[in-house]
Amino acid sequence: MSIVQTLLATLVTLGILVTIHEWGHFWVARRCGVKVLRFSVGFGKPLWLRKGRDGTEYSVAMIPLGGYVRMLDEREGDVPEALRSQAFNNKPVLQRMAIVAAGPIVNLVFAVLAYWFLFLWGSTVVIPVVGGVQTDSLAARAGITPGVELMAVDGHEVQSWDEVNLRLAARVGETGSILLRAGEPDRGVARDYSVQLSDWRVDLEKESPIGALGLRPYQPEIPAVIGALTDGGAAQSAGLQVGDKVLAVNGAAVEDWRALVETVRSSPGQLLRMTVLRSGTEQPLDVTPDTRVDDNGQQYGFIGAGVQSVQWPDSMLREVSHGPVEALWIGVQKTGQMIGLTLDAIGKMIAGAISVKNLSGPITIAKVAGASAASGLESFVSFLAYLSISLGVLNLLPIPMLDGGHLLYQFIELVRGRPVSEKVQMMGLRIGMALLFSLMALAILNDIARL
C-alpha cells in the first residue's frame, strides 16, 4: 500500500473517531443548555471554518490528532450577564459530568453499532482446527493432539481462531489453568483439556497467544510457488518470476513454501542453486539471499518473494451471520469483551505481566489503518470498532487532562458539595501532562523500533 493511501486511511480513521467523540460532548452540552462556541476536528490553524446559524463555529484544523468542543465558560473569559446561565461552569455538577462522559460513551456506542453491522453483514471464518502441536509445549502437556477442533475456551464458545486468540490473550501473565474444549463435533466427540499456567508470559510483539500455547492452526498445503516479487530484491534480480514453482534448492527437494522459507532464512549471503518449474519446463537459477538482522541481532536470509495464495477447503471454513436483534446483542457482548481486555492489558502492563513494548503510537495506528483499509470493508470497520473502544476506555481513565480526570474532580465535587481547588487541579494537570507525554513518547519509540 502506498504512503498516500496509508495517509488517507489514517486521516479517515482519525476523522471518524474524533468527530463522533467530540459530537458526543457537543450533543449533550447543547441538550443541557450550554452555549458551544466551536466544534473542531483537529488542533491548530483551521483549514476550514464555518459559523452555523446556531452561533457555533465548525472547524477542521491542521493537526488531525484529536479535536475539541469549546464551550462558554467563565473560567476562560468574561461572560455577558445575559449568557451566564449558558456557561458550562454554571451548570449543575451532574450535567457537567454528563457532558464530559458523553464523548467516551459515544465511542463505545459506536463500537457496538460497528460490531452489529459486521455480525449482521456476516463473514467467512477459518474453523479453529489444530494443525500441529509443538513438542513439550503447554498444549502438548495438556494432551491436545493435531486434528481436533477447539470449541470453547474457559467455557466461552469459539467459532474462529480470532475468537480463540482473544480468549487466550485475556489469560496472558496469569497463573492457573485454561480450560479448552476440543474434539470432533461432526462425530459428537469432545473432551476438556486443562492447560496449566505459571505466570504465563507472552511476547505479543513476536508471537500470538495461540503460538505461545504451542498450537499451530491448520493450514492447507502451500506449494512453493512465487506469488509476488519485491522490486530490486534478490529473487527478482536472479530472474525468478511470478508463477515459478521451486522444486529443489542445492539438489534437495522442496516440499512446500514453509520449507523454502526456512532454507532461505538459514542462508544469508550464501549462493542457493534453485531448480524451478516454469511453463512446464525445469530451469536452474542461482539466488543469493540478502542479509538482514532480527531483533535479537541474528542474521537471516531474505530474497523478496511472496507466496501465491491458496484456496482453503470448504470443510475448514464457516459462515457466521446473525439476525438484527441477535447481532446487536452479540455486538454489545463483543464490545464488553474488548473493554475488559483493554482494562486487563493496562492493569497487567502496570504490574509488569505484559511488556510496555506492546504500547503503540500514531505510526502503528497509521500502518494498521492502511492495511485494514486495503483488506476490505469488514477489516476496516473491525479496526474502527477496536480503536474506538481504546479511545473511549483510555479517555475514561482518572488521569487529569483526560475526560476521566475531569469526571474524577466532578465526582469529588458531587460528594463534598464544593469544587476541587484550582491549586489541586493545576497540580493534577501537570502530573497528567507528564504522564501522558511520557506514555506518548514511549509509544512512538516503540513504533520506531518496529519499523
pLDDT digits (tens, 9 = 90+) for 87-121: 999 999 999 999 999 999 999 999 999 999 999 99
**pLDDT attached to residue 295:** 65
Would you list the DSSP string of 266-277? T-TT--EEEEEE
The structure's pTM equals 0.81
Q: Which domains does the chain have, with CATH numbers?
A: 97-119+322-451 (no CATH), 123-220+311-320 (2.30.42.10), 226-308 (2.30.42.10)
Q: Which pLDDT does position 294 carry in this prediction?
A: 77
Gap between the Cα atoms of 266 and 262, Å rounded: 6
Q: What is the CA radius of gyration of the chain?
A: 27
Mean pLDDT by 10 residues, the chain (451 residues): 74 89 96 94 90 90 87 88 91 95 96 95 90 92 93 93 90 91 83 90 80 91 90 91 93 91 93 93 93 83 90 87 94 94 86 72 66 75 92 91 91 90 86 82 70 56
d(CA 335, CA 152): 19
The C-alpha cell at 339 is: 473493554
Active site residue 22: yes
What's the rounded Cα separation, in Å, for the pair 147 and 161?
14
- Residue 152 is predicted with a pLDDT of 94
- pLDDT value at residue 447: 63
Residue 391 makes CB contacts below 8 A (sequence gap 6+) with 17, 21, 104, 107
Q: Look at residue 446 in the predicted model and tell me its pLDDT.
A: 67
Helices 93-121 and 377-395, interaxial angle, to 10°? 160
Q: What is the largest CA-CA distance in the chain?
A: 90
User: Quick one: pLDDT at residue 146?
Assistant: 92
pLDDT tens-digit readout, 341-383:
889 888 888 877 777 776 676 666 666 666 666 667 888 899 9
Q: Can you tell me the distance from the alpha carbon of 343 to that of 335, in angstroms, rounded to the nearest whole number? A: 12
**Catalytic choice (22, 149, 378, 413):** 22
Position 163, amino acid: E
What does the pLDDT read at residue 96?
95
State the pLDDT at residue 315. 87
